[in-house]
Amino acid sequence: MKVMRRLRQMLLCVLICPALALAQEGTPQAAKSLTLEQCVDYALENRAAVEQVLLDQAIGEREIKADLSGWFPQINASFNGSNNIKLQQTVFGDQVVTLGQKYNSNLLLEANQTIYSSELLLASKAARFTRQQLDQQIIDTKINTVVAVSKAFYDVLLTQEQFRILQVNLARQEKQYNDARSRYEVGLVDKTDYQRAAITLANIRSDIKRAQEGIKAKVAYLKQLMGYPIESDLDLVYDYSQMEQAVLVDTTEIVDFARRIELQRLQTQRQLVGLNTAYRKWSFLPTVSAFGNYNWLYFNDRFSELYNTAYPTSAVGLRVSVPIFQGTRRWQNVRIAQLQEDRLDLEIEDTRKAINTEYQTALANYKGDYTEWRTLQQNLELAQEVYDIIKLQYDEGVKAYVDLVVAESELRATQINYYNALYNLLASKLDYQRALGNIDINQ
């Protein structure tokens, strides 16, 4: 009996365990609660734009190695075979002599070693600046990622807070609607009070539905920026008191152009263009290389016996190639490179002016948004106080219902405007920090 019971238990385990495993696989993953720093870190590792720029760096490194491979020995092999249908003839005295044989073939193995080349020298000197340019491109992409993800994070949180406010207003309005209807039914007020309450209630429900759909869209956008799996839930964690404290920034700091990655990239490009100009000027220098080869020659009048005997030759030597006259190509290339330098200098100066404008604009926006946020912060306290007083007076029959509706609408609008102002202020702070070049990508 014990054996049979144990066998039944084992059979049940075999049947149930796979079902439990499948059920667990089909269960959606629990939402991960992420802070702003965790969202940014995740985006810096998984965002498509970051991964693409890292691949660009890997591609650029391979291109550098490909350009520098010309300094290594270049070994080539070639094969040739021919059927001389009509052999060359020449005259010696009164005799016509046929030169060569019907079938010819050769196998050549040759090695070349570049000793000096202006083009390879340029590639060697440019390698460092090209790597620097690739690194700066990564930094630029990461800075944009930090700013975009932070703004999207704040946008989701503040929309959720607006949704919470609307739900609180909904509960309060439902109570007021029920109270107004009860008063109408007992004959204390006319039906316009609860009709107004019904209108306000419908409007709040419409706003709640809009906010719900808005949260879904904004969460999807945040997931896209982060490179987060679309099938996984995402829950955001943040302390609103810390968010209010995080809005402060030093507005006396002066912009340092050298810290802006856009200007750094242009200056690196300027160095590359300068190297190109130097190369164009010195392109008249010869290209020097050493070579060595071994050539197996085969010839015979019968194809079947062509490869029976080889007649090898071998040589080593030095090859010097000097560009003597190329029309005006070299001079035109020099002028093109010099004009490219002039154009890049203008672009650098214009970028400095654009950065200064961006800084001034970001500073002005931050100061304006900060003033608006502080004003709405005070207005929010006043609106709450006004609503509480009018609600008390309405309950005591002193104020009309329309006054209560107006006070509640003003309170709701002030609450929503306050959080909109807080988001605008946080976004302005990010823009201001980016204008200063203070975005930290090593969070």
Residue among 307, 300, 308 nearest 100 (CA): 300
pLDDT in tens, 13-42: 433 343 333 334 333 344 468 899 999 999
Residue 188 burial (10 A CB sphere; 0-12, 13-18, 19+): exposed
Q: What's the pLDDT at 175?
A: 81
Domains and CATH numbers, the chain: 30-72+117-286+325-436 (1.20.1600.10)
Q: What's the pLDDT at 195?
A: 81
pTM of the full predicted structure?
Answer: 0.81
Residue spans of the chain under pLDDT 70? 1-32, 187-190, 443
The amino acid at 214: G
Cβ–Cβ < 8 Å for 240, 161:
yes
